[in-house]
Amino acid sequence: MSVFTIRGGHPLSGSVPIQGAKNSVLPILAATLLAPGECMIHNCPRLTDVEFTLDILRHLGCKVSREGETVTVDASAPVGWDVPDSLMGEMRSSVIFLGPLLSRMGRAELSYPGGCELGPRPIDLHISSLTTLGADIQEEGGRLLCTGPLHGGDIALSLPSVGATENAMLAAVMAPGTTTITNAAREPEIVDLQAFLNTLGARVRGAGSSVVVIEGGVPLHGGEYTVMADRIVCATYLSALAATGGQGECTGVDWRHLSTVTALLSEAGCEIKSSRSAISLKAPRRLKAVSPVRTAPYPGFPTDAQAVVMAALTCSEGATLFVENMFTSRYRHVDQLIRMGADIRLEGRVAVVYGVESLHGARVAATDLRGGAALAVAGAAARGETVIRQLEHIDRGYADLAGDLRALGADIWRKEEQETE
Ligand code: UD1
């Protein structure tokens, strides 16, 4: 069993390049299915979620290879239309294959994704969007059986779901006619997906706004693309610098994607400087509490950054209120932070963090991806040694969390440990 050991309690400093965005690369890899040619995708981080996605593409008959951070997918002759239960079970976001499979093969079969560590995650909006585009979707024995053909249509989402917006875009690019998605999610990853699809010859516009329009049915071809930097990984490292009273920078990142996170850290007393492709931060010795943090769809405060900034604020002066509006079970890191000496009260969607003088090292377990990263942030700030177990959650989204934090001066190592609990 791998664990992280961190000896914390000293200010971090240094510079770290930010990996490619997990939430961009997954839909982009699914989109390669649409192109009867070779797609070369740069800045593909080595994450377990990415490797599962590549396994699904291989299973479907694509030729897939990786050289460093560049992945090549040749979907000239995809033969399959099903995602097996084993691969579906590994990663909830494999539901993103529904749109491209329906679009390219006219047929898709995959198991119904269950809940996950963040609570129940319904896919009703994915299904209703694809149905609007002409798909017939039946559920049989826990499997979704979907058939086309698809056509353009007007999709009105009742809430701006990231995954449903992406699935609808992926389904619509090959469906003859015009598709309009209203109340679309506005996340930067959707802008990245649009840019990639247009590189393949698609005609998609409006991503980043609430209305995305797709002129479907144009022939696509292969292409080359570089995935955007991961704004949540960047938020994690800025939080670690802030939590430790440190000073440093994250490079290769678009500061505009992090404006709510940097505004919060600045309110907490950090000096932030953003240039074209880097964000630097200088933290005070002790952070101040900030005004309520309410998670919301982009451009609001990202739910994915809630845990890491909460970890940074555990040692602030004063109390900060958090309201988690996106997912029901997104405070599972709180118990672990309490084990490290944090004072956090929880009720439903609300958490109040009362700043303490300092945290202490403890044995803790990652409960989910971002909650796990939050423990590393807390561990960097805590006096003494912190051991983090259940790294499989963290490996889903961080290519090398320990290496990146070491680049910022942290004393953190990945070690093998005998299973004792
Ligand atoms: C994506 C991100 C995830 C992030 C989340 C919100 C990926 C791979 N994952 O997840 O990291 O935390 O956006 O920013 O990009 N909902 C429904 N019905 C649906 C779909 C969603 O009710 O059919 C609800 C969800 O339960 C949730 C809200 O909509 O409460 C937002 O979910 P959504 O934007 O779809 O998140 P994901 O795409 O799953």
pLDDT tens track for 46-92: 999 999 999 999 999 999 999 999 999 999 987 788 888 888 777 77
Contact indicator for 15, 248 with CB cutoff of 8 Å: yes
Q: Three-state DSSP class for 273? A: strand
- Judge whether 234 counts as a catalytic residue: no
230 lines ligand 1 (CB under 6 A): no
23 lines ligand 1 (CB under 6 A): yes
127 lines ligand 1 (CB under 6 A): no
Could you tell me which of 286, 307, 299, 296 has the C-alpha nearest to residue 374? 307
Residue 79: per-residue pLDDT: 75
Contact indicator for 310, 342 with CB cutoff of 8 Å: no
The Å distance, Cα 165 to ligand 1 centre, comes to 10
Residue 87: count of CB within 10 angstroms of its CB: 19
Q: Which ligand 1 atom is at minimum distance from the Cα of 125?
A: 23
Residue nearest to ligand 1 atom 8, measured at CA: 23
304 lines ligand 1 (CB under 6 A): yes
Q: Three-state DSSP class for 255? A: helix
Q: Which ligand 1 atom is at minimum distance from the Cα of 162?
A: 34
55 lines ligand 1 (CB under 6 A): no
User: Quick check: bond before 292 cis, omega within 30?
Assistant: no
The Å distance, Cα 367 to ligand 1 centre, comes to 18
Residue 120: per-residue pLDDT: 66
125 lines ligand 1 (CB under 6 A): yes
> Mean pLDDT over residues 303-332, rounded?
96
Residue 226: per-residue pLDDT: 98
Pick the catalytic residue from 39, 44, 62, 116.
116
Mutate to test the pocket of ligand 1, among 125, 294, 326, 394 (most ligand atoms within 8 A of CB): 326
Considering the chain, what is the average pLDDT of its residues? 94
Note the helical H segments in 357-396.
369-381, 392-395
Residue nearest to ligand 1 atom 17, measured at CA: 122
Name which of 115-124, 242-251, 262-271, 392-401 the model is least confident about.
Answer: 115-124
303 lines ligand 1 (CB under 6 A): yes
Residue 419: per-residue pLDDT: 66
pLDDT digits (tens, 9 = 90+) for 187-208: 999 999 999 999 999 999 999 9
Global pTM reads 0.96
Element (DSSP H or E) covering residue 415? strand 411-416
Residue nearest to ligand 1 atom 9, measured at CA: 23
The Å distance, Cα 161 to ligand 1 centre, comes to 5
326 lines ligand 1 (CB under 6 A): yes
